[in-house]
Structure 1
Amino acid sequence: MSSFPALNDEQWLKLLEQVAKTFNEVTLSRGFNYFKQQRVAALTLSENRIVQAKVTGSEDYSVTLNLEKFLSSHCTCPVQNSCKHLAAVIMELADRLGYPASQIVNATYHLKRTASNSSTESLLTQLPDMDIFKWHELLNQYTVHVKPAYDQGTYMNVLRYELQNIRKLAVPFSAIDWVYFELHQQLFILRKIKEQNVQGRITDYTSSSLYRMYDEIHAWLQQQSALFDFTLSEERLQQTLSYIRQQLVEENGHKYLDYGLYTALWKYWIVPYPDANDWISQEINHMEKLTDESNSSSLSAAKAFLYLNQSRNDDAWAALEAGDMLKKAPKSLFLPFLSHISAARDWVSLIEWLLRTAPYFYGQRNRELDAYMGYWKEAVVHVPDAEKHLWNVLDGMLPHSALMIEDLLYEQQKWKPWLELQILNGHDPFYHRVSVLQPIEKEAPNLLLPYYHQAIEYYVSLKNRHDYKLAVKLLKRLNKVYKKMKQLERWDRFLTRFMERHSRLRALQEEIKKGKLLE
């Protein structure tokens, strides 16, 4: 084969056009099998761009491919032209010149895609003059060839990879427009994944990708908030709010994922700026018109969030009570409300909302419940009288709040009820790291006496060598407590009686001697 290049990209596309016109799919598929089986041999290319080759099979045939006059190409087989032997030679030539043979097999599709990409790339340069709704149309066109995968994580990554290529093009965006465009790329991927959820059966494993992406966008919104005053790009912000409002209308069920995204956008991009109240008033007008036409729970929740931003607490709660949304409300629905009130340092309102929302946090402990308890602790610091309400709430949450009660008692250094709770739950001193009990040993060592005594008697009652060793370890720690209390005489009396009561337990006596407690 000649060493000079036989095809450039333009000539390659012309060859694909000739193949698409003269070959049918069956012939191309058979030719591809011949190519893969390496049946093309003795391929040469002359300076006048004529390819000669032999194709082996049940019989050997000679093929002449004329790159200048394609229609004059022929084969010595009975078909003579447009045959599988000629198709195999074209694929072999493509492969040797660094072009994908698969594009010959799918010539018609590849030409359409190339034309579409060329048209799309031309449109991409017009992005700065488009509104965000046109952006989404264009993104859909740009990724039309990406087929949904069963694994949503894979599908999401492929879409991201395709959209990253737009960055390589010379799109004349301003810096702030690039940020808005990146946001809408992420919102576009979200929509595509949600469409897949509606169309097919998605397992819990694959649908987790959707939740992960929502979390990533939340973090991204917060990160970008330090870069610009997004309210200065008024038109883009209005369009973005309009787009997300429509997602709220379409959001079904009680997951409130788009609602969470909507509140994050307000929290990070709008509320921090001086003219935020004007934006809120304008947005409430849009919301009230939409809620008259839609019964979307997410929309009602979003409107309640806006009311709260205007300190219209009663209106906010009334909006939440509208319809049946509170009957099935998840814990995550209320966290943006509590976060906003906390940030406003309105402690009285925060306590009121914590009490109102308490029943919705009943259940297994999770990060939402931990966040809820964090707001309670913050409120109690500023309004100490609210602590009695906190304990009432925790009582109402039992048994799921047992660990939280235990943690709170420890944080507040209420050592006596904390130790009583350990005994009640059957947690002996070995249940905790030594460092957990050290503050009690320092501040109220006398409270540890019944805790250690009970545990020691328990291990002795098990009557085996291993538990005797544990009992001796606890005796050493008990000795330390008596020393801390400066009551060594009391310790000596206890140990004497202890040795007498268990004098028949030789193994225990041996372990006590090994532990050097008698000294």
Structure 2
Amino acid sequence: MATVQSLAKRFDDTIYNYMAAIEKSLTPSREMDEEMVRKAVFLVRHDGVQILSFNEERLLLEAIVKDAHTVKVVLNFDKMNAVCACPQPDMCRHRLAVIFSLYQKVGSLSEWVAAWRAQPSSQLKMMAEKRSPEQWTQIIKSVWRDPIPDYTTRNYFYFEQMFEGRLKNALSFVPLEREWKVFYRTYAHLISLMEVWDTFIAGTEEVHHSFFKTWFEDELHALRDLLEQLRVQHRTFEADAFLDHLRKLVRAFIETKNGSFSQRFTVYRLFWTTLFISNKLRSSEATALAKPDHRIAAFFAILSGDGVVVQKIAPGETADWVQLAIQAETEQHQQALTAILMAIKPHVKTFLFEGLYTQYRHQYVRILSRLFSQIDLSEADWEDLFKQFGHYGLPAYSTYLIEKQLYKQWAELHHLHNSPLYFVEECGLKNVQDAAPDFVLPLYHRFAMDFLEERNRPGYKQAVRIWKKMKAACKKSGQLEFWNAYMTEVRTQNKRLRALQEEIEKGHLL
């Protein structure tokens, strides 16, 4: 094979064409491109490229690049393409390094890199134009022009790194004027969310689904903070066009049909409850939507105070209707709250046990209990509701039984579910003991026997603590004779447990 120097001079036009293609495809303002060029130059200057062979007939040049792992690269001078063994599908630092190593035989690599970095970016060219919503949209979308790698849907950590990097690039063009900073950041977050949406939705179906959902909640918090700042910020007449464009973006976002309406609806509600709060704007939006979903129609009816009619809802829509019920509670719209909750009621069990992660079920049972307590329900309706809650509804059901003075049923409920002491105390044990001490005696007996089974002094001390409460309940209900007989029997049956006998005497239980 001829020397690399002679080969480069012979095919100098081909090498210049490679460099022109690189200059056209890579942009110095993009962090990924800048890093790729920088690493490729590093590999060349540290002798990381070795040319292996050149096939004269097929015009194929083979080389290896000594990176973290040695990688093979093939340049096809005839077809003007490059193939690398690394997993990156398009241009990579290994391909660049081989082309750069050839270029430095016919030109100055340092001068090329300096000229490439000095060229104005397309975003900066757009920034020189008059400020407009369309300009901002183009700048932010240009950051997202490269396809998002498929592997980010399967690995949240790659997704997070990719999103944060591109969002950071978009935010680097934030205007200098203070009054426009929050506006631009809102655009950047919303458009970036829209650009990454399909990848996010696909990620929620993969192994890291919980991480993707947590990321979405964090993005909602960031958007909410920006919208709250924007709402109270002084705005000029020039800002009206930016607000109008923002409304159009949000409307286009909710009208997209791709099976992720629930998550889109969350973002849509955030904008219309935080930033767009004018009755005129809301009325205009409600009529501007083409064939709006019945959840959107109910949402605007709640905000405007109009009557809400809820037809039969699908089980998968329950989460959205729960949020609308919370909105009706906030707006003090009693008719809407009643209509929505009665439509939700048949689907509560499905919502809790199929639509929610375990850690959220207690929280939503408390929310649903609070909402349903604000409307008129029959005892049969309450019974049905608590059955749907399952064991997650025990605190709410206990509160309901205490309010109805159904103390016997309260005690039977906790016997049935074998509730531990701390949980029974949380569910109103003290209230029941004050009102109907007879019904708590069997519970206290079970708790004391559980500690007795531990067969150690700490367990005996806990049993004595419970017996003291049981004694107080017997005294209040006038059953001291029963108490004395009970404790005598306990001591008789456990007369060989000297530590227990000592603790009973210390506790003055008789």
TM-score normalised over the length of structure 2: 0.65
2:275 corresponds to which of 260, 266, 269: 269
1:152-190 CA-partner distances (Å, limit 9, x unpaired): 1111110222123123x54x5x72x44332222111111
Give the Å deviation of 1:465. Answer: 5.6
Query: Where in structure 2 are the equivalents of 1:211-230 lying within 5 Å?
Result: 211-217=216-222, 219-220=224-225, 223-224=228-229, 227-228=232-233
- 1:357 match: 344
1:115 corresponds to which of 119, 132, 147: 119
Give the Å deviation of 1:434. Answer: 8.8
The answer to whether 1:421 aligns with 2:400 is no
- Which stretch of structure 1 is more off in the superposition, 183-192 or 484-493? 484-493
Partner SS for 1:330: helix
Give the Å deviation of 1:245. Answer: 1.7
For 1:83 and 1:373, locate their aligned partners in 2 and report how far apart those are by CA, in whole Å.
Answer: 67
- Given residue 513 of structure 1, which amino acid in structure 2 is its aligned partner? E
Which structure: larger Rg? Answer: 1
- TM-aligned CA distance change 1:373 to 1:312, over 3 Å: farther
Partner SS for 2:232: coil
- 1:46 match: none
Query: Where in structure 2 are the equivalents of 1:438-517 lying within 5 Å?
Result: 438-456=430-448, 471-483=463-475, 488-500=480-492, 502=493, 505-508=494-497, 510-516=499-505, 517=508
Query: Where in structure 2 are the equivalents of 1:163-202 lying within 5 Å?
Result: 163-167=170-174, 170=176, 175=179, 177-196=180-199
For 2:372 and 2:230, locate their aligned partners in 1 and report how far apart those are by CA, in whole Å.
Answer: 27
Give the Å deviation of 1:243. Answer: 1.4
Unaligned runs of 5+ in 1: 1-17, 40-81, 95-102, 292-297
1:302-351 CA-partner distances (Å, limit 9, x unpaired): 2332234334434x535xx6xxxx43533331134213321232324312
Contact 1:341/1:349 (8 A) holds in 2: yes
- Given residue 345 of structure 2, which amino acid in structure 1 is its aligned partner? A
- Given residue 153 of structure 1, which amino acid in structure 2 is its aligned partner? E
Contact 2:398/2:427 (8 A) holds in 1: no
1:157 corresponds to which of 152, 160, 164: 164
Unaligned runs of 5+ in 2: 1-12, 21-36, 50-99, 153-157
RMSD between superposed Cα atoms in Å: 4.5
The answer to whether 1:388 aligns with 2:379 is yes
- 2:319 match: 332
Give the Å deviation of 1:453. Answer: 2.9
Contact 1:419/1:451 (8 A) holds in 2: yes
Give the Å deviation of 1:369. Answer: 7.8
Query: Where in structure 2 are the equivalents of 1:53-202 lying within 5 Å?
Result: 107=113, 115=119, 117=121, 119-126=122-129, 128=131, 130-131=132-133, 133-144=134-145, 148=149, 150=152, 151-167=158-174, 170=176, 175=179, 177-196=180-199
Give the Å deviation of 1:355. Answer: 0.9
Contact 2:143/2:166 (8 A) holds in 1: no
1:480-518 CA-partner distances (Å, limit 9, x unpaired): 433555754543233234444x2xx43346512333146
- 2:310 match: 317
For 1:139 and 1:440, locate their aligned partners in 2 and report how far apart those are by CA, in whole Å.
Answer: 62
1:208-255 CA-partner distances (Å, limit 9, x unpaired): 365235432453256336524889854333322221221122242155
For 2:249 and 2:124, locate their aligned partners in 1 and report how far apart those are by CA, in whole Å.
Answer: 24
Give the Å deviation of 1:20. Answer: 8.0
- Given residue 266 of structure 1, which amino acid in structure 2 is its aligned partner? W
- Which stretch of structure 1 is more off in the superposition, 194-203 or 215-224? 194-203
- TM-aligned CA distance change 1:477 to 1:465, over 3 Å: same
Give the Å deviation of 1:399. Answer: 2.9
- 1:36 match: 46
- TM-aligned CA distance change 1:412 to 1:251, over 3 Å: farther
- Given residue 229 of structure 2, which amino acid in structure 1 is its aligned partner? Q
Contact 2:402/2:410 (8 A) holds in 1: no
Partner SS for 1:181: helix
The answer to whether 1:259 aligns with 2:265 is yes
1:437-483 CA-partner distances (Å, limit 9, x unpaired): 444445543432222234445666x5956776664443333234335
- Which stretch of structure 1 is more off in the superposition, 156-165 or 394-403? 394-403
- TM-aligned CA distance change 1:431 to 1:212, over 3 Å: closer
- TM-aligned CA distance change 1:386 to 1:202, over 3 Å: closer
TM-score normalised over the length of structure 1: 0.64
Give the Å deviation of 1:141. Answer: 1.9
